[in-house]
Chain A
Amino acid sequence: DTEVTQTPKHLVMGMTNKKSLKCEQHMGHRAMYWYKQKAKKPPELMFVYSYEKLSINESVPSRFSPECPNSSLLNLHLHALQPEDSALYLCASSQVRTYTDTQYFGPGTRLTVL
């Protein structure tokens, strides 16, 4: 099973709302990633978790708060977002943190901030 699942598929929220995105994998991967993808642009890395610990934060604003409660689950908590945060949010996982590991991507959550 090489599947990464993400919920919800679509999310519309106001700038004062608090919402969460969820990502799950059951491949035994110990690295998990959040990417942001604007329309007609490549994905941009936001966060990397390794062994449930935050390894990398690519200078992401604090209105995005990641959480990795266990090795299979990755959340992205959203609060006080701006309209420019509207994008496709992709989750990925990989075996271990080396250059040769393949990242497996989920289908993404399409976020619209009103």
Chain B
Amino acid sequence: AQSVTQPDIHITVSEGASLELRCNYSYGATPYLFWYVQSPGQGLQLLLKYFSGDTLVQGIKGFEAEFKRSQSSFNLRKPSVHWSDAAEYFCAVPMNTGFQKLVFGTGTRLLVSP
């Protein structure tokens, strides 16, 4: 079954520094992959998604992610982090069950230091 792993529970980045959040997937075929962000006490917002084609995907808020089949990864990146980016980030994959059941990774909490 499809699954995603986010190996980092939390990451601290200085404001203005670059960011990379890791997501590894487990699936034989090319998966569909999503990145969501959740600000404290809020719902989830889609940052970007990958289905096929260009392996570098651009999202909202200056985020991008690169699909690497050889590494089974879909890491999220941002060149310069802003304090407002502090949030929980979830990688997700839909299960192949005939309906869209999203399975989320355990999440990575991003802390931004001044």
| Residues of A that sit less than 8 Å from B by CB | 4, 6, 31, 40-43, 45, 48, 50, 55-56, 88, 90, 92, 94, 97-108, 110
Majority SS of interface residues in chain B? loop
From B14-22, B41-49, B68-76, the one touching the partner chain is B41-49
Cβ-defined contact, A108 with B101, below 8 A = no
List residues of chain B with CB within 8 A of the CB of A98.
100
**Complex Cα distance A86/B49, Å?**
31
Q: How large is the interface on B (under 10, 10 to 19, 20 to 34, 35 or more residues)?
A: 20 to 34
Q: Say yes or no: A105-B45 contact (C-beta < 8 A), given A42-B90, A100-B51.
A: yes
CB contacts (< 8 Å) of B49 on chain A: these are 102
9 shortest A-B CB distances, which residue pairs?
A42-B104, A105-B43, A105-B44, A107-B43, A99-B94, A97-B99, A99-B32, A106-B43, A108-B43
Total of A-B residue pairs, C-beta within 8 Å: 59
6 further interface pairs, Cβ-Cβ under 8 Å (given A42-B106, A94-B100): A45-B101, A101-B100, A103-B46, A105-B44, A107-B43, A108-B41
Which chain A residue shows the least CB distance to B94? A99
- Interface residues in chain B, defined as those with a beta carbon under 8 Å from any beta carbon in chain A: 32, 34, 36, 41-46, 49, 51, 90, 94, 96, 98-102, 104-107
B34 partner residues in chain A, CB cutoff 8 A: 102
Q: Cα distance A94–B101 when bound, in Å?
A: 11
Most B C-beta atoms less than 10 A away, residue of A43, A102, A106: A43
Contacts A/B (CB < 8 Å), 27 sampled = A4-B43, A6-B43, A41-B106, A42-B106, A42-B107, A43-B102, A45-B101, A48-B100, A48-B101, A50-B99, A55-B99, A88-B41, A92-B44, A97-B98, A97-B99, A97-B100, A99-B96, A99-B100, A101-B100, A102-B46, A103-B46, A103-B102, A105-B44, A105-B45, A107-B42, A107-B43, A108-B42
